[in-house]
Chains A and B, each alone.
Chain A
Amino acid sequence: MSMREDQHFQRRFDHRIWLRLLRRAREFRGTMAILAVVMILVGAADALFPLLNGIAVDRFVETGSIQGVESLAIVYAGLAFLQAFLVWALIALAGRMETGLMYRFRQDTFAHLQTLSIGYFDRTPVGWLMSRLTSDIQRLGETVAWGLVDIVWGVAMMAGIAVAMLFVHAQLAVLVLTVVPPLALVSWFFQRRILGAQRSVRRLNSEVSAAFSEGIAGAVTSKTLVREAENLREFSALTGRMRAASVRAAVFSALYMPVVLLLGSVGTSIALVAGGVRLSEGSVTIGVIVAFVGYTVQFFEPVREVARVLTELQAAQSAAERIAALLDTPPAITDRREVEDAFGTILEPHRDRWPRCHGAIRFDEVNFAYPDGEAVLDHFDLDVAAGESIALVGETGAGKSTIVNLVARFYEPTAGRILIDGADIRDRSQSWMHSQLGYVLQTPQLFAGSVAENIAFGQPEADRSAVEEAARMVDAHAMITALPGGYDHELGEGGSGLSTGQKQLLSFARAILADPRIFILDEATSSIDTDTELRIQRAIRTMLRGRTSFVIAHRLSTVRDVDRILVLEHGAIVESGSHHDLLAREGRYAALYRESMR
């Protein structure tokens, strides 16, 4: 996964990706059409001004009569209001498209993420997904909405100016327009480089931010390692690169503008010389020259914008490709159509039609290998009665997590079946399965919100008394009431503000309130002082009572109470039985247990 960020997609412009993404944005077709019309009008109006100047010169100045000059004023005033309105409409419409596109893509991506299997998230770093949903989608929205605006406006204005010039004086127009091809070429050349330089500035800038962030978070560690001087040396090298790249980008921009100005002045000179010659010949009026000089000044803005947008479009393409790839990632685990019809989808479950769950689980000849090829289970059989508690014991990689991941249907067997109450797990919906589960993770994961909301996470409709009862059952009530605000105490993002032990107890209360039939406990290994530890042990005993349960045991102190202990080695059960039986057998478990007590 380290390669993801560096993955280079093809660099050439590929309209198919854009079309595919835009198909998702069909709701904006109307807005897009109106926007295009507005842009053409704005461009055309912009092309009108130099023409008006020329007309004013020929009509009034040259004749020396100001009769009808008020009509000029009226036209100008009318144009002022028209243009003001058009500009307003343009920004409002483009803004609506930009925010609308971002909204749509975020909704679609978020909804799609809900259908992807846990395996996908195990492989994909959170930061990668965050970048897709935040900066990539933002880039896409901006480029599509404002890029469209700038291109249509730029092209309309260039076309408008060209038409106006050709209309006024075709010969002169052709002469002046010879400046355009070199201008376009130069713009293309510079914009690519400017954009490339800006991209490396952005990359370095995020490196500098990351370095600051690491510097702040790791300040204590750096102190204890006495790394201050070396850290600064490395950081200074980074800011040095940042400075060089920033200056480079600035210098490119500083070079580009003068070159455009210079080409513009060539245009002005051509208008002046060619116009002047024709003026003495009498084929051109002074007003024509005035209009042409105005046009040569006005022509460059749109050329520059169009060149900029075209290069930006190319840069935004990689963002578009990444989003398209994310949206096209097929979920590894899906419910069959009939199952969805019967029990609903993930986002719209039909809870009322769900069957009751008793919690009998059977692994029938199950094979499992992770996508990277590492085989974990091979013809694995296991029969768990409803209400039975199972402890899984074994070294890392023995298959403990795989077994619970399969029960939770976070992964699916590569061969064989898993039966819940005698029915194939695939004949039930994922939501149904997950709703039967109570899952307590090694590192308790809470959410921003009140304590009560966190406990009611799986049962949002639960009332306060139910929440308190759940907390009492795991011996967390006293701890919660001691918090400022009690059950209404607000937690930060990820539950920050509580100790690990406190978070653990809350996650237990959350699991117990959901009243699941099947319970999965990935035992915590983090450090908790002995008193809290005892409370947690009691809470676990309460939770397991009467439920089918799987405990992934790291410390053997928890497992003495379970009905059956499975000792796993390389995906196979090597010992099975109660704590007493296994100790009496004097095998692996007994050895492990003695060792842990030493």
Chain B
Amino acid sequence: MRVAQSPFATEWPRFTGAVIATVIAAILGFSVPLMVQAVLDWVLLDQGAPPFRWVVALVRAAGGADAIRDRLWLPAIAIVVVTAGNGAASYLAGRWSALGAERAARQLRNTLYDHIHAVSVAYHQRSSSGDLLQRCTSDVDTVRKFFAIQLMEVGRAAAMVAVAIPVMAQLNGRLTLVAVALLPVAFWYTLHFFRNVQIAFTASDEAEGDLSALLQEHLAGLRVVRAFAREPEEYRRFTARNTTHRDVTMRLIYLLARYWAVSSWIVIVQLGAVLVVGTTFAAGGTLTVGGLLVFLMLEQMLLWPIRQMGMVLADLGKARVALGRIGEVLNAPDEDHDPVLSGGGSERPVIRGAVAFENVSFAYPDAGDGPAALHEVSFSVEEGTTVGVLGATGSGKTTMIMLLARLYDPSGGRILIDGHDITTIDRTWTRRHVAVVLQEPFLFARTIRDNISLGRSAARDAEIFAATRSAAVHDVIEGFSRGYDTPVGERGVTLSGGQKQRVAIARALVSGSPILVFDDSLSAVDTRTDARIRAALLDRQATTFLISHRATTLARCDHLLVLDRGRVVEQGAPEVLRAADGAFARVWRQQQGAADVDA
């Protein structure tokens, strides 16, 4: 992404205003030393008018140098007023640049947030979430900082150089040469240093990351550490990383110490040169005392922004890289334009829940971590049917669900819902009618009530309670001190795997979707609760897909699909399959038979 296309470009009036205000502030800032000079040289020492026309005009307007001598409070007030003007301009510059940068940053954050919801599931599976998070947070912050603070610094430094050098030159050309002699050195040294010190910064950050990672893992696995009495080894491991972090950071600090030492040296030598040469000139009469003071004050005002500018230019590269990384995220196509998917439909038919797969095939474009492939899967069920799905890991069960919820699209064949080809239906419309519960469901860091009503914000308490009772989790929730208002996660309760699954089931039930899909979502629930939930599900009129490894669960479905390496190897009524000598019969015997032997 280039700056011109970013939201920062739209804020140009604010940034322009801020830069203008900065320049005005710099000019006003320089007038104070000149006024001090006029008072010293002209009013107090009577050495004649300074070479600045506006100062002369100002003094004349106040009644001339002699009149001022008796009214010294006049220039004093003028100095305070000019400084107030300088302050007002600096304030406006700060305010405008902050406003512009923060508005643009907000816009950029919103765009990114929207986009991570708009891209396909395939994109999320391809990309690392840590990297994506970094682009959305710290990269945005790098760019924001550049516009909020550093842009002003560049403006200030440029204004100072542009104003100070002519002013100095008007006072004394030769001293000006002395006064700027070391400025390029200071600038170059800072630029060079901050470009190269990045490696040390990164090393320190990485060492810190390693330390945190170890700590996180240690705390998460604490029971195992305890149960194996591994504390001494863990302490050694921690000590090693803690030591590395300290030493690597210390290396960075030594570099910084060297930088500040050298740059202090440059500053003092530069100031000393101005003082010694200036004193010589002043003693010789080619420079006034006030002129010398002006040189000393301007020099001090110049040195800081010059060094700052080196730092800013070194950071400019970082901001450009960050913007580029953000652009990469935003350039990823959304679901309607992702070549992996087949475009978005627009129809919004009434959906009752009849589902048919016609020779559905699916192959994930770059194999890798994507879902398993499917080969010519066909089946057809009426609305209200309970469909059981059995298959080993990697047999394509989850892929089937993802296709049904339009998280992926088939590469061959058709999926029909109530006779409509799914690709002609609006993607979100389909999802509104297909409620999916994943095996490891994701709950949001908000209250349990909010989590359950996520799919239908208008859900009433009675509906929520009915759903949680069906999911056999109502009593559990009531048992929490704040009941349904208990937040989920670190700031509230940590739910067990089974509790999470049941909350997610309630969430799916509240949505009132005519098609329900449970991707092994009862696996962490004990057998008794499992049976209760299933009984409640059967009362619903929804078309229900139940993926499970439990033969007893599957045996109660209306229709069974057995998947093996992406193909349907068996399907039909459970009783029929049990009687046949197939895969389901084998699993049934393994799970059931083992019990019957000694029962």
Contact = CB atoms under 8 A, between A and B. Distances in A.
Interface string B535-551: 00000000000001100
Nearest to B595: A597
A209 B137 contact: yes
28 contacts: A72-B276, A84-B261, A84-B264, A87-B257, A96-B253, A106-B242, A127-B490, A129-B219, A214-B444, A216-B136, A220-B121, A230-B457, A239-B109, A261-B90, A265-B32, A272-B79, A276-B43, A293-B36, A437-B227, A447-B217, A457-B230, A494-B217, A499-B393, A514-B228, A525-B523, A527-B520, A527-B549, A595-B531
B106 A250 contact: no
Given A73-B272, A232-B110, A258-B87, A579 B523 contact: no
Contacts of A56: 275-276, 279
B455 A226 contact: yes
B524 interface: yes
A548 B112 CA distance: 56
Contact of B76 (A107, A270, A297): A270
Interface stretch (B281-289, B314-322, B373-381, B410-418): B281-289
B527 interface: yes
Given A80-B269, A212-B136, A293-B293, A445 B220 contact: yes
Contacts of A257: 87, 90-91, 94
B69 interface: yes
Given A239-B109, A439-B227, A224 B84 contact: no
Interface in B412-470: 428, 431-432, 434-436, 438-439, 441-442, 444-445, 454-455, 457
Given A223-B407, A266-B80, A525-B498, A261 B217 contact: no
Interface in A100-153: 100, 102-103, 106-107, 110-111, 114, 118, 121, 125-130, 133-134
Given A61-B283, A69-B279, A410-B226, A130 B219 contact: yes
B529 to A, nearest CB: 9
A531 B564 CA distance: 13
Contacts of A526: 497, 523-524
Contacts of A597: 552, 592, 595
Given A220-B407, A525-B524, A554-B526, A210 B109 contact: no
Contacts of A77: 269, 272
Interface string B517-529: 0001001111110
Contact of A121 (B219, B283, B491): B219
B106 A239 contact: yes
Interface of B is mostly: helix
Nearest to A201: B102
Residue with the greatest number of chain B CB neighbours at <10 A, chosen from A231, A254, A431 = A254
Contacts of B77: 269
- Chain A interface helix/strand/loop/mixed: helix
Given A457-B224, A597-B552, A597-B595, A66 B284 contact: yes
A130 B215 CA distance: 7
A399 B267 CA distance: 73
Contact of B40 (A96, A225, A289, A499): A289
Interface stretch (A186-194, A241-249, A321-329, A564-572): A241-249
B231 A431 contact: yes
Nearest to B124: A219
Interface stretch (B183-191, B232-240, B350-358, B574-582): B232-240
Contacts of B129: 213, 216-217
Nearest to B117: A228
B441 A247 contact: no
Contacts of B300: 297
Given A224-B405, A410-B223, 5 more contacts: A57-B282, A130-B215, A294-B296, A396-B526, A437-B228
Interface stretch (B50-58, B158-166, B170-178, B243-251): B243-251
A216 B124 contact: yes
B169 interface: no
A341 B403 CA distance: 65
Contacts of B505: none
Nearest to A57: B289
Contacts of A231: 113, 117
A43 B376 CA distance: 81
A198 interface: no
A596 B596 CA distance: 12
Contacts of A596: 527-528, 552
A85 interface: yes
A402 interface: no
Nearest to A216: B129
Interface stretch (A12-20, A342-350, A379-387): A342-350
Contacts of A230: 457
B241 to A, nearest CB: 10
Contacts of A64: 283-285
A154 B500 CA distance: 56
Nearest to B238: A110
Contacts of A251: 94-95, 98
A197 B301 CA distance: 29
A255 interface: yes
B401 to A, nearest CB: 10
Contacts of A66: 279-280, 283-284
A265 B80 contact: yes
A408 interface: yes
B257 A88 contact: yes
A130 B212 contact: yes
A216 B455 contact: no
Contacts of A106: 211, 238, 242
A447 B242 contact: no
Interface string B83-114: 11011101101110111001101100110111
